[in-house]
Amino acid sequence: QVQLVESGGGLVQAGGSLRLSCAASGRTFTIIHMDWYRQAPGKEREFVARFSWSDSTSYYADSVKGRIIISRDNAKNTVYLQMNSLKPEDTGIYYCSAGYQTATGPRVEWGQGTQVTVSS
């Protein structure tokens, strides 16, 4: 099993920055990738970014490319989401997830979510 704890959300003005953290614990050596998703009020959860554990490759949704960077601290088993030039439409609950391998196949674990509010 893998457990995730997110932190770093808050209220920021448009154009500002925030950094979210997602700390993984448990069987972290089984992690395949860690992702960030977000869910705006009244909308479905959407993909934001992925960090591939094996080759450190990152992937981004088109809506955040150039403004958001996903990175990892190996020693802390923590993934960060650095968000710059924030817009009101970036408002939502941000969820961290980890895809990891088990004896019965791949599984996904989700964090509890952290609120990000961008005021105009």
Q: What's the pLDDT tens digit per position in 108-120?
A: 999 999 999 999 9
% of residues, the chain, pLDDT over 70: 100
DSSP strand pairing (78-83 vs 18-26): antiparallel
**pLDDT value of residue 35:** 98
Q: Which contacts of 65-74 are long-range, i.e. CB under 8 A and separated by 24 or more positions?
A: 70/36, 72/34
In which element (H, E) is residue 107 found? strand 105-110
Q: What is the mean pLDDT of the chain?
A: 96
- Residue the block writes with tokens 């970014």: 49
CB 96 within 8 A of CB 111: yes
Cα–Cα distance between 75 and 87 in angstroms, integer? Answer: 32
